[in-house]
Amino acid sequence: MTIVSEKEEKEFASHTTIGMVVEGLVHGNAFFDRHQHNRETLDDLISDLCQYRRSLPSTKEYMESGRIK
């Protein structure tokens, strides 16, 4: 069994891609369930954003790879 480091499993998404995903998460949480209380929507949005952040390399990893300065 080959073990792949967490760093290798994460894709270095572009600045634009990250923005589009974040925008989609915000809009998706805000507009698809109008019967949900906004406090619940906020919890769901924060959870979705944190999950997306965990799927990306850290800012330090982006800097080390030369993708951001």
**Res 16: pLDDT:** 96
Residue 1 pLDDT grade (very low, low, confident, very high; cuts 50, 70, 90) = very low
Q: Structure pTM?
A: 0.78
**Res 31: pLDDT:** 79
Instruction: Report pLDDT digits (tens) over 23-65.
Output: 999 998 887 677 888 899 999 999 999 999 999 999 999 999 9
Give 3-state DSSP helix, strand, coil % of the chain, rounded to 5: 65, 0, 35
> Sign of dihedral through CA atoms 54, 59, 65, 66?
positive
